[in-house]
Amino acid sequence: MYGVLALALSALVLLTWQVLAARADAAADDELTHEANKFRAFATSAEAASFSRPEALLDRWLQGNLPDDSEALFSIVDGREYHRSQGTPPARLDTDAAFVRRVGGATEPSYGWADSAAGKVRYGVIPVRLGSAPVRAHLVVLEFRDVIAQPSMDAARALVLIGAITLVLAGGACWLVTGRVLAPIRQLRTTAERISDTDLRRRIDVVGKDDVAQLAGTFNTMLDRLEDAFTAQRDFVDNAGHELRTPITVIRGHLELMGADPRDQAETKALLLDELARMNRMVDDLLVLAKSGRPDFLELGAVNLTELVVEVVAKARPLADRAWRVAGTADATIVADGQRLTQALMQLVSNAVRHTGPGDRIEVGSHLDAGGSVLLWVADTGPGVPPADRERIFERFARGNDQRRTDGAGLGLAIVRSIAQAHDGEVRLAPGPGARFEMTLPAAEEAMAR
Ligand SMILES: Nc1ncnc2c1ncn2[C@@H]1O[C@H](COP(=O)(O)OP(=O)(O)OP(=O)(O)O)[C@@H](O)[C@H]1O
Ligand SMILES: [Mg+2]
């Protein structure tokens, strides 16, 4: 932008300069022609006829002619400088022997360019002949072209100066403006550079409401999300490590204490296998959770809701002696991942089993509401969840404070929630008595369309 401005200004100055120079040349030519015509008119006048010698005629002419400041006239007689016009010319060419020699031999009127102390000179030479006598005398007219051009050149110089000042000022203004515009972007860049995954707390100051401020705002929002994600990830890894350490410690302790008694060994073996199974389950659960954010988490297909519920109850029945119920089945087929839905329901069922006793009722049901959204639920007649834990239990590694807490890792409900969310749905705990967990999946038509 600035370069274009500089180029345009330079081109303008150069062009103006050339136009002015050409004009000065033309003005010098005009003056020369004018002087020559004047002399020619005089030379053919009656007055001139009275002179018998050319030098007298030339003297008369030089006396009667006052040249401009940028002009000079002189006569050459017999190849030598003879007389010159009045006034002080810008430079003397009549005393320049080489010039006088060059123009003094002319037999025809001629003109040309010469150099002088006052710059370029446009000259014209007019040979003077009286009657048929050979040429002995010349009138030389000098137009000092650089002197004529002086005022224009002064104007051009002023133009150059103004152009240069304008350029400097425009450059300064550009520098200031771009500096101010770019400052927030520079800050954005330096902040972004300083941020590493260990220091995600830094934020950019948002000043004003312009585009740059909006950009900074968006950047900050992105950082919020990144920080949340990193914190969650770190907590998750911390918790997983912590949870896995417990069974490892148990296994190690038992192996160290194991004696040589075969009965003792059999007991320890059973215990260790149990502990390993628990670990295995936890690792499987962790893998499910880790995979839940990925696009290939779900394998969609047609899922019949009646079949789904009946199957879950059939699978659950051998787990424990409970009063199992299929409570309401929606006779509908939806597009979903049947295996993941079964997995979610089985997590809920295993929780229900854990919090109920023999003979207690556990029901599994499905329902399709008028809007087409699907409701899946597992309810039991156990003690239910204390109000303080209602939200917390859905988090990873969150367990209730009841007696059975050592049993699980607290991943079950987190898995249920991620499966619901992967289906664009959600899971919630409905008000008691007992515990009733409900999964809502969005309108079946929508699911079909996907
Ligand atoms: N049906 C229920 N009745 C009462 N409390 C429940 C019920 N289901 C879950 N909870 C409470 O919610 C907590 C979290 O359940 P979640 O399934 O996430 O973990 P967990 O069952 O303890 O362990 P995991 O499922 O990993 O084996 C449980 O510890 C329990 O306190
Ligand atoms: Mg559970």
Is any atom of ligand 1 closer than 6 Å to the C-beta of 351?
yes
Sign of CA dihedral 378, 300, 412, 317: positive
Is any atom of ligand 1 closer than 6 Å to the C-beta of 376?
no
**Please, which pLDDT band fits residue 324 given cuts at 50, 70 and 90?**
very high
At 15-61, the pLDDT tens digits run 988 898 899 899 999 999 999 999 999 888 888 888 888 888 899 99
Indicate whether 447 pLDDT > 50: no
Is any atom of ligand 1 closer than 6 Å to the C-beta of 380?
yes
Nearest CA to ligand 1 atom 5: 385
Find, among 363, 258, 265, the residue nearest to 312 by Cα: 363
Question: Of ligand 1's atoms, which has the minimum distance to the CA of residue 398?
Answer: 14
Residue 263 DSSP SS3: helix
Place of tokens 């914190």: 231
CA of 393 to the centre of ligand 2 (A): 10
In angstroms, the CA 326 to CA 381 distance is 15
**Please, which pLDDT band fits residue 414 given cuts at 50, 70 and 90?**
very high
| Mean per-residue pLDDT over the chain, rounded | 87
Is any atom of ligand 1 closer than 6 Å to the C-beta of 282?
no
Nearest CA to ligand 1 atom 11: 400
What integer pLDDT is reported at residue 397 of this predicted model?
86
Higher pLDDT, 213 or 76: 76
Which tokens belong to 429?
A: 């705990």
What integer pLDDT is reported at residue 49 of this predicted model?
82
Find, among 389, 387, 438, the residue nearest to 416 by Cα: 438
At 70-100, the pLDDT tens digits run 999 999 998 888 999 888 889 998 889 899 9
Is any atom of ligand 1 closer than 6 Å to the C-beta of 385?
yes
What integer pLDDT is reported at residue 131 of this predicted model?
78
- Counting ligand 1 atoms within 8 A of each CB, the residue from 343, 349, 351 with the most, and so the one to mutate, is 351
Indicate whether 446 pLDDT > 50: no
Nearest CA to ligand 1 atom 27: 408
CA of 355 to the centre of ligand 1 (A): 8
**Please, which pLDDT band fits residue 169 given cuts at 50, 70 and 90?**
very high
CA of 393 to the centre of ligand 1 (A): 7
Q: What domains can be seen in the chain, in order of their start residue?
A: 2-154 (3.30.450.20), 211-291 (1.10.287.130), 297-449 (3.30.565.10)
Average pLDDT over residues 286-312: 90
Indicate whether 401 pLDDT > 70: yes
What integer pLDDT is reported at residue 151 of this predicted model?
87
Residues 6+ apart with CB under 8 A from 114: 93, 99, 120, 121, 123
Nearest CA to ligand 1 atom 6: 385
Place of tokens 């007649």: 381
Question: Of ligand 1's atoms, which has the minimum distance to the CA of residue 404?
Answer: 29
What integer pLDDT is reported at residue 406 of this predicted model?
54
Are 123 and 112 a contacting pair, CB within 8 Å? yes
Place of tokens 């302790």: 253
Average pLDDT over residues 249-262: 89
What integer pLDDT is reported at residue 378 of this predicted model?
96
CA of 321 to the centre of ligand 2 (A): 18
Higher pLDDT, 206 or 259: 259
Residue 302 DSSP SS3: strand
In angstroms, the CA 152 to CA 174 distance is 32
What integer pLDDT is reported at residue 449 of this predicted model?
39
- Counting ligand 1 atoms within 8 A of each CB, the residue from 355, 362, 411, 413 with the most, and so the one to mutate, is 413
Average pLDDT over residues 383-411: 81
What is the share, in percent, of the chain residues with pLDDT greater than 70?
96
